Amino acid sequence: MRKLNLLAGMALAGMVLLGLTATADKTSANFTATSSNPSNTFQSATLSMSNDKPNANDLVNISNLVPGDTANRTVTISNTGNTGFTYSTSISATANTLLWSDTTNGLQVTVKRGAVVLYTGALKNLSLTSSGTIAAGATDTLTYDFSFPSTAGNSFQNLTQDFTVTYTATQLAGSAR
Distance CA 105, CA 102 (A): 6
Domain of residue 153, residue span: 49-171
- CATH number of the domain to which 117 belongs: 2.60.40
Within a domain: 157? yes
Within a domain: 12? no
Question: In total, how many domains does the chain have?
Answer: 1
Q: What is the pLDDT of residue 5?
A: 61
> pTM, whole model, 2 decimals?
0.78
| CB-count burial class (<10 Å; 0-12, 13-18, 19+) for 99 | buried
Within a domain: 68? yes
pLDDT band, very low/low/confident/very high, at 67 (cuts 50, 70, 90): very high
pLDDT band, very low/low/confident/very high, at 171 (cuts 50, 70, 90): very high
Whether the predicted pLDDT of 54 surpasses 70 = yes
Q: What is the pLDDT of residue 174?
A: 87
Diameter over CA atoms, the chain: 140
